[in-house]
Amino acid sequence: MKNLLVFMFVFMGITSFAQSSTEPQSSWGGVSDRKGQNYIYWGYNRASYLRSYIHFKGDGYDFELKEASATDMPSKYDPNVYFNVRNLSIPQFNVRFGHFITDQFSVSLGWDHMKYRLTPLQSCILNGYIDTAKYDAGVLNNPTGNFNNQQITYTTDFMDFHHSNGFNFVRAAAEYRAPVWRNKTNQCGLYMWCSGNLGLFLPWTDFTFYGERHLNKLHLAGWGWSASSGLRFEAGKHFFAQVGAQFGRSYLGDIMLEDGDRNARAQQAITFLERSWSIGTYFGGSKKK
């Protein structure tokens, strides 16, 4: 994946330079003229999550965790992370490739690399059972292992559940843009954009249960939908920068808990709000005047 990211950044630079160097300016009608052009962008995100219900089932446990809160896991600013091509996949990032069918309408495919972690110390409700012959009953102070909507204190001594290597949303989008402002020469402008999105969720789940850690592999866990909107500043034929917000919901029916054990699975629906900022380039043909 790191090689892919390096290629993407080199490709963005080469295409932007090549297009501006070889194409006659008369062939482009300004920022309102995007039909036939492609685009690619890279950016970063933050995410917030509503409380959710999670069903865990495996060897010696079958329970539901209710009203569980979660946060994202942003990387602290470090030039060696954000400006080193070998580490670009560590932060929460967005990457997308698209094509304009008309001057206003485009379709795209991309990857939102969010991260998700249950808040390490919180109060939530547990319903179900945990085998006390296999797991320490003292951790949750329940000697029988049977829980009937019991309020517990969730700590990492009990569990640490997160999609830290990626709450990955691979989605297709249909997008429409509308002008907010353009200068007199039509060489730069501010556009509002909105999109409808549908795609697949491939979390990379890290699950620690009573001190035993399971670092699972990338796994198709379910699907989701979302709606996005934001503002995009366009300068010249190739450059743009944008900010956006995305509200959506995932339906994860097959979360891998213990790699190698097909019976150890979780189910969860996550409602999320993502905020993002990106830079990108337009490239390829546009309609001739």
pLDDT of residue 191: 98
| Intra-chain end-to-end CA distance of the chain, in Å | 40
pLDDT of residue 89: 83
Which residue in 190, 172, 170, 188 sits closest to 180, CA to CA?
Answer: 190
pLDDT of residue 198: 98
pLDDT of residue 82: 85
- Asked whether the predicted pLDDT for residue 10 surpasses 60, the reply is no
Which residue in 241, 266, 255 sits closest to 43, CA to CA?
Answer: 241
Task: Render pLDDT for 39-89 as a digit per residue (tens, 0 to 9).
Answer: 999 999 999 999 999 999 999 999 999 999 999 999 998 888 888 888 888
3-state DSSP helix/strand/coil percent for the chain, to nearest 5?
10, 60, 30
Task: Render pLDDT for 197-212 as a digit per residue (tens, 0 to 9).
Answer: 999 999 999 999 999 9
* Band of pLDDT at residue 11, cut at 50, 70 and 90: very low
Distances (CA, A) of 191 to 57, 196, 247, 286: 47, 17, 20, 18
The residues, any chain, with a CB within 8 Å of residue 84's CB and separated by 6 or more, are none
* Band of pLDDT at residue 20, cut at 50, 70 and 90: very low
* Band of pLDDT at residue 34, cut at 50, 70 and 90: very high
CATH code of 2-50+71-118+157-283, in short, is 2.40.160.20
Q: What's the residue count for the chain?
A: 289
Task: Render pLDDT for 156-196 as a digit per residue (tens, 0 to 9).
Answer: 999 999 999 899 999 999 999 999 999 999 999 999 999 99
Residue ranges of domains in the chain: 2-50+71-118+157-283
Amino acid letter, 269: A
pLDDT of residue 286: 56
Task: Render pLDDT for 220-271 as a digit per residue (tens, 0 to 9).
Answer: 999 999 999 999 999 999 999 999 999 999 999 999 999 878 899 999 999 9
The residues, any chain, with a CB within 8 Å of residue 78's CB and separated by 6 or more, are none
**What does the alpha-carbon distance between residue 8 and residue 101 come to, in Å, rounded to a whole number?**
22
pLDDT of residue 80: 87
**What does the alpha-carbon distance between residue 12 and residue 29 come to, in Å, rounded to a whole number?**
22
- Asked whether the predicted pLDDT for residue 14 surpasses 90, the reply is no
pLDDT of residue 168: 97
**What does the alpha-carbon distance between residue 60 and residue 266 come to, in Å, rounded to a whole number?**
14
10 sits in which H/E element: helix 2-22
- Asked whether the predicted pLDDT for residue 13 surpasses 90, the reply is no
- Asked whether the predicted pLDDT for residue 287 surpasses 60, the reply is no
